[in-house]
Structure 1
Amino acid sequence: MINISWLMQFLEVTDRKSINKAAEELYISQSVLSRNIKKLEEYMGYPLLVRSNQGIRLTKEGRLLYQCSMPLKEEIKTIELLRKKKEVMGCSELHIYLFSLLLKSELLLDYVSGDNGDSIILKIYETKLMDLLQGVQDDEFGVGIAVLSDPEVAALENKVSQSSLTMEVLDQGGLYLQVRESCTDFDRQERLPEDRLKDMRYIHLDLDIYSILRLGIKINGVPLTSLKQVIQVNSYSAMMGLLAETNSFSFGSKWQADEMKRHGIKCIEIPDAETKMNLVLFLNSQAVSLEARAFVNILKRAYHLLP
């Protein structure tokens, strides 16, 4: 019978395109890894890898073995997750990474209510976009949800394609202006006049190399980069408190309008916005936990995205 450990090491070498990098990832020596790959080749009866100064590449037979073995790799990871779940005394665990989104409160209640009675470890991280991507990639219990503009989605596609992440646009909607309920500066078309806009503070979350693209958005022809009064915060809780109590505005989406309303903030769609907003789901294609799968189904149901 084939040695599963050798096979998994072969897959790691193939993914890393380097015995050196694979050995570091697997915490074994290069000599042991090379010896195990050689044993696997002897077992199969033909070479699997071609080694050169530029790294390694698969032979025709090696490519076929790699393709046939990938489903097994996913099944083994699922088995490992089940084992680790047992080790934490029956606890189910879910880590949610959020960027630019305030989750519906009933969504979390539905997830907790749907649990089978085990203890639950639920962690929610409000992060920068880059931290969200890294978190989901490194965290076997992680799932990422972000609201991104069209330029942000386009800029991320190449990065995501070169990683173990998957990016799925679940829904698309307009760009919304978020202001306190008592704001009376709107005209009859529910637009903020340019002079009023420039007197208000613009509040936004922490930005990074990708999310900074949203600063290119214009509102009523006014570029955000021209605004002088800007407040940067690191959480939606802080943003809501400032919006509800100060002469300020921020951008939002339809997916959090109900939650914002509960906190005394109204959301008005900008009819001529230059960009659309996207509700985006990020998962690690190499390790999607059972809890993450359950949460995604609840998420889609909460936002009416199921067929």
Structure 2
Amino acid sequence: MEIKDLRYFVEIAELKSMRKAAASLYISQPNLTRAVKSLESELGEQIFKRSNRGVELTEFGEGLYYYAQSILKQVNEIAKLRQETKKYVEARVSAAIGGIILRDDMMLQYYETIKANHTSISLFEIPVEKVLNYVETGKADIGIVSVNNVQIRALRKLSELKDLELHTIGYGPLYVHVGKNNPLYGREEIEVRELLPFTKIQMPADYFANINYSMSIDGSVGMMDFDKTITVNNYHAIISMVKRTDAFIFGNKWQKEELEKGQICSIRLKNCSIERELLWLKRRRETLSDKAEDFLKLIVDCYGDKNGDT
């Protein structure tokens, strides 16, 4: 007899339906039926009987139900004990980041939050489309993405197809980030057309970037109107280029504070119709580990809308 067979048994007994139990357990009904028959064969007793209301426990099944509940409760307590012990020995978290540059001290804050002898942190700074793929395939526990109000529809649709949950952290306007070598440095607000003489730095094109190509920024200037562009596949390399040239990047409010440390200013765009949304995502049918939850809490505390649209 296996623990999973007892879990199946308890789920059927509580839902009083093979169909509902199969859906709840994410297994096919034929497989669930075979598991029940195998359990009955092993016990030598019938545990369910069919009725107009679905399935009901036999007299033997009722006795088994209370024993099974007790066993499963003890198994869960053992699992909790193991998890509590393990979290002080080793902590692992992996996150895929798209469209935002995280604060440098984020990892330090995370390290100081947890209590573990060994800590493994994997951060993947990649285009938004890859973030979805990394989370879907399990390469990353969570994804953090920033998209605009045009891209969000596609993000929600793709997330649904990939069986991912989406949760909003905050909203904010589109910004442009420039370094001291750009004549626009220090301005609080500019017209979008003032950027046309300068080089736009961007991440490699993906599905979400392609959506931007036909998008108007202020009703007159579109993303395709910038003749000079440089494509770089690393956020830190992008920041280095912005600091040392007159090139610029489009960004958001969530990276303003971090960029200011490197003497890169963030400028609002006049008459800009584009808004940004910051979201986190995970696999729908999986529960985040305690360590992933700790990391996510830091993200939400740092970038949530409670901090204001500054």
Where on the TM-score scale, by shorter chain, does this alignment land: which range? 0.7 to 0.9
**CA RMSD, aligned part only?**
3.8
User: What residue identity is the alignment partner of 1:93?
Assistant: R
Q: Does 2:274 correspond to 1:275?
A: yes
Contact 2:190 2:270 in 1 (8 A): no
TM-score (norm 2): 0.72
Q: CA deviation at 1:189?
A: 7.2
C-alpha distance 228-84 of structure 1, shift in aligned 2 (>3 A)? farther
Q: Does 2:114 correspond to 1:105?
A: no
Give 1:47-62 correspondences, 5 Å limit.
none
Alignment-derived partner of residue 206 in structure 1: 204
Alignment-derived partner of residue 262 in structure 1: 261
Q: Distance in 1 between matches of 2:235 and 2:292?
A: 23
Q: Distance in 1 between matches of 2:267 and 2:291?
A: 35
Alignment-derived partner of residue 160 in structure 1: 159
| Greater mean alpha carbon deviation, residues 250-259 or residues 202-211 | 202-211
- 3-state SS of the aligned residue for 1:210? helix
User: What residue identity is the alignment partner of 2:206?
Assistant: D
Contact 2:232 2:238 in 1 (8 A): yes
Contact 2:189 2:268 in 1 (8 A): no
User: What residue identity is the alignment partner of 1:268?
Assistant: I
> Number of matched residues?
270
Q: Distance in 2 between matches of 1:227 and 1:202?
A: 7
C-alpha distance 84-95 of structure 1, shift in aligned 2 (>3 A)? farther
1:115-174 CA deviation, whole Å, 9 max, x = no partner? 114210011101122221122223286111011111221112122224431101110000
Contact 1:141 1:289 in 2 (8 A): no
Give 1:161-240 correspondences, 5 Å limit.
161-185=160-184, 190-192=189-191, 194=193, 196-220=194-218, 221-240=220-239
- 3-state SS of the aligned residue for 1:173? strand
Contact 1:2 1:43 in 2 (8 A): no
Q: CA deviation at 1:282?
A: 0.8
C-alpha distance 44-129 of structure 1, shift in aligned 2 (>3 A)? farther
Q: Distance in 2 between matches of 1:119 and 1:187?
A: 43
Q: CA deviation at 1:190?
A: 3.2
User: What residue identity is the alignment partner of 1:206?
Assistant: P
Alignment-derived partner of residue 242 in structure 2: 243
Q: Distance in 2 between matches of 1:2 and 1:300?
A: 40
Q: Distance in 1 between matches of 2:186 and 2:294?
A: 45
Alignment-derived partner of residue 295 in structure 1: 295
Q: Distance in 1 between matches of 2:221 and 2:293?
A: 42
- 3-state SS of the aligned residue for 1:279? strand
C-alpha distance 239-167 of structure 1, shift in aligned 2 (>3 A)? same
Q: CA deviation at 1:232?
A: 1.3
Q: Distance in 1 between matches of 2:81 and 2:246?
A: 49
Alignment-derived partner of residue 143 in structure 2: 144
Contact 2:201 2:238 in 1 (8 A): yes
Q: CA deviation at 1:305?
A: 4.7
Q: Distance in 2 between matches of 1:299 and 1:193?
A: 30
Contact 1:97 1:144 in 2 (8 A): yes
Contact 1:178 1:265 in 2 (8 A): yes
C-alpha distance 193-150 of structure 1, shift in aligned 2 (>3 A)? closer
Give 1:15-164 correspondences, 5 Å limit.
15=26, 35-36=34-35, 38-39=37-38, 43-46=47-50, 79=79, 86=86, 90-139=89-138, 142-164=141-163
Contact 2:5 2:36 in 1 (8 A): no
Q: Distance in 2 between matches of 1:303 and 1:259?
A: 12
- 3-state SS of the aligned residue for 2:227? coil
Q: CA deviation at 1:239?
A: 0.8
C-alpha distance 203-39 of structure 1, shift in aligned 2 (>3 A)? same
Q: Distance in 2 between matches of 1:145 and 1:246?
A: 28
User: What residue identity is the alignment partner of 2:121?
Assistant: L
Q: CA deviation at 1:6?
A: 7.3
TM-score (norm 1): 0.73
User: What residue identity is the alignment partner of 1:291?
Assistant: K
Q: Distance in 2 between matches of 1:150 and 1:85?
A: 44
Q: Distance in 2 between matches of 1:292 and 1:199?
A: 43
Contact 2:182 2:247 in 1 (8 A): no
Contact 2:98 2:127 in 1 (8 A): yes
State the structure with more CA Rg.
Answer: 2
Which residues of structure 1 form unaligned runs of 5+? 20-31, 48-58, 62-71
1:7-48 CA deviation, whole Å, 9 max, x = no partner? 5697589747697xxxxxxxxxxxx8874365479744449x
Q: Distance in 1 between matches of 2:171 and 2:83?
A: 38
